[in-house]
Amino acid sequence: MAAGAAVGAWVLVLSLWGTVVGGQNVTARIGKPLMLNCKGAPKKPPQQLEWKLNTGRTEAWKVLSPQGGPWDSVARVLPNGSLLLPAIGIQDEGTFRCRAMSRNGKETKSNYQVQVYQTPRKPKIVDPASELMAGVSNKVGTCVSEGGYPAGTLSWRLDGNVLTPDGKGVSVKEETRRHPETGLFTLQSELRMTPARGGTPHLTFSCSFSPGIPRRRALHTAPIKLNVWAPEPVPLEVQLVVDPEDGAVAPGGTVTLTCEAPTQPPPQIHWIKDGTPLALPPSPVLLLSEVGPQDQGTYSCVATHPSHGPQESRAISISILETGEEGPAAGSVGGPGLGTLGLVLGILGGLGTATLLIGIIMWQRWRRRGEERKAPENREEEEEERAELNQLEEPEAAESSAGVQ
């Protein structure tokens, strides 16, 4: 009797507070009790039934029955055969199956797919802009949603219409974080927008949170209304720089044209030759390589910026040097190759002349030294010859004196 009263009390409490279901797809709020019915089971013992659970808490199928004990504080089988989860959590998401045998031997199976949810706090827009500037990218604000499960999504609205990011005038930077202990999500969405010039002077923005499960209503922020103002356009100073500076180049040379426009974001640069736009992709640099007669003319560039409009630079003339304007002096023959050859030959001729002079000087020095060495030898020979002559002259003188006597 007491057991029956207890079961009746549980059924009453769950019917008022928890969730009693019989379908296949089940959603339950985190922290609330959940009761799953085992179809076909006798309402009173004895019962032949078995529950199988495959959730985030189990590595394989967990089996529960009326004859077994409760599964800690996670789940237990009630006397009427239903399965009770007193406080369902994120780890209890998964598959629940019950197989029951009636008293007349008929088998009935129940299958439930359980998903949990947690409704986040109402989203809000933090750090909203005070006003917006037309023609430039502005940060509108950051939408924040905290404490939800599953994560869900955030979306922006302008004057009641959904804003779709296009990477140009509208861009959204999103961030999702998950709490390491509770497993709940925090979403952030930063909106940037470029209001059009000449558009409406007031814009109204709002942000909405959409749950990640069906049949749950969306949550909306309070709208913010921002004024849009358009600054007076400032003339954009565009400079065209050419290398070489005078724009004159030899045939086959290279000319580099650089268009400078100091503004952010960088403007789009287009090129004009002789008053006609060139069919080239936008680029701040125009390179003319292997310049020929077809490249001669007047060049300018046009910088287009949303805050300034199109601005054209001064024009620069590109010309090709004629033969004789640069290179060998008048009267000379040949081009740069012959000039280099003449220089080499001149250097070699100078080196040869220097070598010849050094050789003559060395030869004269050698000759002078040889003559100095030979001088003493010649003196000795002359003395010997004089001595021999004297010896020959003495006998002859003696014979002459004897004949006279």
Spatial CA neighbour of 79 closest among 65, 89, 60: 65
What contacts 13, CB < 8 A, 6 or more positions away?
none
Place of tokens 């005070």: 130
Strands 34-36 and 19-21, bridge-based pairing: parallel
Tens-digit pLDDT profile for residues 209-257? 999 888 889 999 999 999 999 877 667 789 999 999 889 999 999 999 9
Residue 188 has pLDDT above 90, yes or no: yes
Residue with more model confidence, 115 or 46: 115
Pairing of strands 185-193, 138-148: antiparallel
Confidence of residue 385 (pLDDT cuts 50, 70, 90): low
Q: How many CA atoms lie within 13 A of 316 on its CB side?
A: 23
Q: How confident is the model at residue 383 (pLDDT cuts 50, 70, 90)?
A: low
Read off the pLDDT of residues 58-106 as tens digits, 9 standing for 90 and up. 888 999 988 888 888 899 999 889 999 999 999 999 999 999 998 888 9
- The label of the residue with tokens 């300018």 reads 300
Rounded CA-CA distance 339/332 in Å is 9
Across the range 299-327, mean pLDDT stands at: 81
User: Across residues 198-210, what is the average pLDDT?
Assistant: 93
> Three-state DSSP class for 394?
helix
Least-confidence region, from 36-45, 205-214, 250-259: 36-45
Q: pLDDT-based confidence at 276, cuts 50/70/90?
A: very high
Give the integer Cα–Cα distance in Å for 137 and 171. 9
Shortest CA distance to 286 belongs to which of 255, 308, 264? 255
Average pLDDT of span 48-58: 93
HSE (side-chain half, CA atoms, 13 Å) at 152: 33
Nearest to 137 by CA among 88, 96, 170: 170
Report pLDDT digits (tens) over 359-379: 787 777 777 766 665 555 556
3-state secondary structure of 328: coil
- As given in the structure block, the two tokens for residue 302 are 């046009």
pLDDT value of residue 397: 47
Mean pLDDT of 94-120: 93
Q: Which of 46, 165, 18 is nearest to 102 (CA)?
A: 46
